[in-house]
Amino acid sequence: MALINYSDLNDILESILLKTGFTKEESVLTAKIFADSTADGYHSHGVNRFPVFLKTITDGYVKLGEQPERELALGSFERWNGKLAPGPLTAHFCMNRTIELAKESGMGCVALQNGSHWMRGGSYGWQAADAGCIAMCFTNTMPNMPSWGAKEANTGNNPLIMAVPSENGHIVLDMSLSQFSYGKMEKYAMDGKDLPFDGGFNSEGEHTKNPSDILGTKRLFPTGYWKGSGMSILVDLLVTILSSGKSTAQIGELEAEYGLSQVFICFDSAQMNDGSKHKALVDEIINHITSAMPEQEGRTIEFPGSQTKKRRVEHMKNGIPINDNVWEEILRLSNQ
Amino acid sequence: MALINYSDLNDILESILLKTGFTKEESVLTAKIFADSTADGYHSHGVNRFPVFLKTITDGYVKLGEQPERELALGSFERWNGKLAPGPLTAHFCMNRTIELAKESGMGCVALQNGSHWMRGGSYGWQAADAGCIAMCFTNTMPNMPSWGAKEANTGNNPLIMAVPSENGHIVLDMSLSQFSYGKMEKYAMDGKDLPFDGGFNSEGEHTKNPSDILGTKRLFPTGYWKGSGMSILVDLLVTILSSGKSTAQIGELEAEYGLSQVFICFDSAQMNDGSKHKALVDEIINHITSAMPEQEGRTIEFPGSQTKKRRVEHMKNGIPINDNVWEEILRLSNQ
Q: What does the alpha-carbon distance between residue A48 and residue A330 come to, in Å, rounded to a whole number? A: 9
Q: Which of the two residues, A183 and B276, has the higher pLDDT score?
A: B276
Report the run of H or E that residue A266 belongs to, with start and end: strand A260-268
pLDDT at A190: 86
Q: Dihedral through CA B206, CA B211, CA B216, CA B218, nearest 10?
A: 80
* ipTM summary value: 0.98
- pLDDT score of B183 more than 90: no
Q: Is B253 on the interface with A (CB under 8 A)?
A: no
Q: What is the mean pLDDT of residues B176-188?
A: 92
Which of B103, B107, B308 to mutate to test binding with chain A, by most A CBs within 10 Å of its CB? Answer: B107
Question: Which residues of chain A make contact with B261, given a CB cutoff of 8 A?
Answer: none
Q: Cβ contact (<8 Å) for B75 and A74? A: no
CATH number (3.30.428.10, 3.40.50.2300, 3.20.20.80, 3.30.1370.60) of A66-176+224-272 reads 3.30.1370.60
Rounded to 5 degrees, what are φ and ψ at A162? -130, 135
pLDDT at B254: 96
Question: Which residues of chain B make contact with A175, given a CB cutoff of 8 A?
Answer: 227, 230-231
Which of B105, B157, B203, B233 to mutate to test binding with chain A, by most A CBs within 10 Å of its CB? Answer: B233
Q: Which of A44, A45, A83, A80 is nearest to A61 (CA)?
A: A83
Nearest CA in chain A to B103: A74
Domain boundaries defined on chain B: 1-59+312-336
pLDDT at B187: 85
Q: What does the alpha-carbon distance between residue A103 and residue A99 come to, in Å, rounded to a whole number? A: 6
Do residues B324 and B49 touch, judged by C-beta distance below 8 A? no
pLDDT at A187: 85
At the topology level, CATH places domain A1-59+304-336 in Hypothetical Oxidoreductase Yiak; Chain: A, domain 1 (1.10.1530)
Do residues B157 and B176 touch, judged by C-beta distance below 8 A? yes
Helices (H), A145-274: 182-190, 211-217, 226-243, 248-252, 269-272
Low-confidence ranges of chain A (pLDDT < 50): none
Q: Which of A238, A296, A301 lies at the smallest CB-CB distance from B147?
A: A301
pLDDT at B182: 87
The CATH number of B1-59+312-336 is 1.10.1530.10
Exposure string over A190-224, b if 16+ CB within 10 A, otherwise e: eeeeebebbbbbbeeeeebbbbebbbebbbbbbbb
The terminus-to-terminus CA distance of chain A in angstroms comes to 23
The CATH number of A179-221 is 3.30.60.50
Question: Which residues of chain B make contact with A134, given a CB cutoff of 8 A?
Answer: 237-238, 241-242
Q: Cβ contact (<8 Å) for A134 and B241? A: yes
Q: Is A3 on the interface with B (CB under 8 A)?
A: no
Q: Is B74 on the interface with A (CB under 8 A)?
A: yes
- pLDDT score of B138 more than 90: yes
pLDDT at B336: 86
Strand partners, A164: A171
Nearest CA in chain A to B281: A241
Q: Which of B266, B254, B259 is nearest to B244 (CA)?
A: B259
Task: Give ∠ CA A107-B91-B113 in degrees, rounded to 5.
Answer: 60
Nearest CA in chain A to B134: A238
Q: Is B45 a catalytic residue?
A: yes
pTM value is 0.98
